[in-house]
Structure 1
Amino acid sequence: MSLTSYADSALSLIPPLLAISMAVVTRKVLPSLGVGILAGILMLTQFDLGAAATHLAQTVSGLFVEDGGANWGNLYILLFLVILGATTALISASGSARAFADWARQRIRTKRDAKLLTMALGVVVFIDDYFNSLVVGSVSRPITDRYYVSRAKLAYILDSTAAPVCVISPVSSWGAYIIALIGGLLAARGYDGGGQLATFVQMIPMNFYAIFALILLFAVVWFGLDVGPMLRHEIKAQKGELYDPERGNPPGTNAELEEANNGSVAGLFGPIITLVVATASFMVASGAAELADAGQAFSILGAFENTNVGYSLFNGSVAGLAVTLVFAFKQRLEGQLIVQAVIAGARSMLPAAYILLFAWAIGGIIGEVETGKYLVSQLEGAIAPEYMPMVLFLLAGFTAFSTGTSWGTFGIMLPIAADMAMGTDTTLMLPMLSAVLAGAVFGDHCSPISDTTILSSTGAGCHHIDHVTTQLPYALMVAGISLVGYLVLGMTHSLITALLVCSVLVTLVIALLKFKQSRY
Structure 2
Amino acid sequence: MKKNLVKNLIFIGAVIAYIVFCFTQTPITQAVTVTGTGEEAVSVGSWWSLLPPIIAIGLALVTKEVYSSLFIGIISGAVLHAIAMGSGFVGVMTSVVNDGLIANIADSYNVGILIFLVVLGAIVVLMNRAGGSRAYGEWAARHIHTRIGASIATFLLGVLIFVDDYFNCLTVGSVMRPVTDKHKISRSKLAYIIDATAAPVCIIAPISSWAAAVSGTVDGVNGIQLFISTIPYNLYAILTLIMVIFISVSNVDYGPMRTHEINAINGDLFTTRNSVYDKDDEPDHTKGKVVDLILPVLLLIAFCVVGMLYTGGLFEGTNIIDAFANCDASVGLSLGSIGALIVIMIYYMLRGVLKFSECMSSLVAGFKQMVPAILILVFAWTLKTMTNQLGAAEFVRGIVESATAIQILLPLLLFVVALGLSFATGTSWGTFGILIPIVTGVFQSQLADVTDGTIPSMVIVCISACLAGAVCGDHCSPISDTTIMASTGAQCDHVNHVSTQLPYALTVAGVAAAGYLLAGFVQNVFVVLGVSVVLMIAVLFGIRLIVGKDDKKTVRK
TM-score of the pair, normalised by structure 2: 0.85
Given the alignment, which residue of 62, 65, 78 partners 1:41? 78
Greater CA drift, 195-204 or 214-223: 195-204
The alpha-carbon deviation at position 8 of structure 1 amounts to 4.3
1:231-252 CA-to-partner distances (Å, cap 9, x unmatched) read 11111111221114534143xx
Contact 1:414 1:436 in 2 (8 A): yes
Distance 1:64-1:145 versus aligned 2 partners, 3 A rule: same
2:526 counterpart SS class: helix
- Is residue 2:378 matched to residue 1:353? no
The answer to whether the Cα contact below 8 Å between 2:129 and 2:281 also exists between their aligned partners in 1 is: no
SS at match of 1:506: helix
The aligned runs of 1:426-465 (5 Å cut-off) are 427-465=457-495
Map 1:155-174 to 2 at 5 A: 155-174=191-210
1:333 offset after TM fit, Å?
3.5
> 1:9, CA displacement in angstroms?
1.8
How far apart in 1 are the matches of 2:45 and 2:171? 42
Which of 320, 341, 344 pairs up with 1:324?
A: 344
Aligned residue in 1 for 2:534: 504
The answer as to 2:414 corresponding to 1:392 is: yes
Shift, 1:62, TM fit: 0.9
Aligned to 1:148: 184
Match of 2:101 in 1: 60
Per-residue CA shift, 1:26-56, capped at 9, x if unaligned?
A: 1111111111111111211226101221232
The structure 2 residue matched to 1:201, chosen from 208, 228, 234, is 228
2:322 and 2:284 mapped to 1: Cα distance?
44
Partner Cα separation in structure 1 for residue 260 and residue 209 of structure 2? 33
Would the aligned equivalents of 1:287 and 1:303 in 2 still touch at CA under 8 Å? Answer: yes
- The answer for the alignment partner of 1:282 in structure 2 is 307
* Cα offset, 1:494, TM superposition: 2.5
* Aligned counterpart, 2:155: 119
Q: Which residue of 2 is the match for residue 314 of structure 1?
A: 334
Q: Select between 5-14 and 111-120 the one with higher mean Cα deviation.
A: 5-14
Give ranges in structure 1 of 5+ residues lacking alignment. 66-70, 188-192
CA-atom RMSD, angstroms?
A: 2.1
Residue number in structure 2 paired with 1:344: 365
Does the Cα contact within 8 Å between 2:131 and 2:282 map onto a contact in 1? no
Instruction: Choose which of 375, 395, 399 in structure 2 pairs with 1:378.
Output: 399
CA contact (8 A) 1:41 1:56 kept: yes
Provide the residue aligned with 1:20 in structure 2. Answer: 57
Q: Residue 304 of structure 1: CA displacement?
A: 0.9
Deviations 1:57-100 (A, max 9, x none): 212221233xxxxx332112111111211211121122210101
Aligned residue number for residue 518 of structure 2: 488
Opposite residue 303 of structure 2, the aligned amino acid is A
% identity of equivalent residues: 37
Match of 1:211 in 2: 238
Quote the Cα distance in structure 1 between the aligned partners of 2:446 and 2:68: 45
Structure 2, unpaired ranges of 5+: 1-27, 31-42, 448-455, 552-557
Specify the code of the residue in structure 1 equivalent to 2:533. Answer: S
* Residues 275 and 317, structure 1, Cα contact 8 Å, conserved in 2: yes
- Amino acid in structure 2 at the alignment position of 1:414: I
1:319-342 residue CA offsets vs partner (Å, 9 max, x unmatched): 332233234423344566545444
Among 253, 256, 263, the residue aligned to 2:288: 263
1:74 aligns with 2:74: no
TM-aligned CA deviation for residue 489 of structure 1: 0.8
> Greater shift after overlay, 42-51 or 210-219?
42-51
CA contact (8 A) 2:436 2:466 kept: yes
From the superposition, tell whether residues 122 and 256 of structure 1 become closer, same or farther in structure 2 (CA, over 3 Å).
closer
Q: Equivalent residue for 1:133? A: 169
Which piece of structure 1 moves more, 208-217 or 486-495? 486-495
**Partners in 1 of 2:101 and 2:381 — Cα distance?**
10
Matched, 1:29 2:70: no
How far is the alpha carbon of 1:279 from its aligned partner? 0.5
- Is the 1:8–1:377 Cα contact (8 Å) retained in structure 2? no
Query: Which amino acid in structure 2 is aligned with residue 459 of structure 1?
Result: G
- Between the aligned partners of 2:66 and 2:532, the Cα distance in structure 1 is 35
The count of corresponding residues between Structure 1 and Structure 2 is 497
Letter in structure 2 aligned against 1:219: F
Letter in 2 for 1:463: D
Q: Distance in 2 between matches of 1:87 and 1:120?
A: 22
* Residues 372 and 104 of structure 1, relative CA distance in 2, 3 Å threshold: same
Q: Deviations over 1:162-188 (max 9, x none)?
A: 101111111100011212222x1xx1x
Q: Would you say the 8 A contact 2:200–2:238 is kept in 1?
A: yes
Describe the SS at the equivalent of 2:313. Answer: helix
1:408 counterpart SS class: helix
* Aligned counterpart, 1:254: 279
Decide which moves more: 390-399 or 142-151: 142-151
Q: Distance in 2 between matches of 1:165 and 1:259?
A: 38
> Which string of whole-angstrom CA distances, capped at 9 and with x for unpartnered residues, describes residues 244-294 of structure 1?
4534143xx5346555322111111121111100011111111116x95xx
Give the structure 2 partner of residue 109 of structure 1.
145
Tell which deviates more after alignment, 458-467 or 40-49. Answer: 40-49
Task: Please tell me whether the aligned partners of residues 263 and 331 of structure 1 are also in contact (alpha carbons under 8 angstroms).
Answer: no
Between 222-231 and 240-249, report the one with greater CA deviation: 240-249
Determine helix, strand or coil for the equivalent of 1:349: helix
Structure 1 residues 378 and 85: CA distance shift in structure 2, 3 A: same
Match of 2:35 in 1: none
Tell me: CA distance 1:510–1:332, structure 2 relative to 1, closer, same or farther (3 Å): closer
Residue-by-residue CA offset, 1:478-508 (whole Å, 9 max, x unaligned): 1111101011110122322212221221111
Decide whether the 8 Å contact of 1:287 with 1:307 is kept in 2: yes
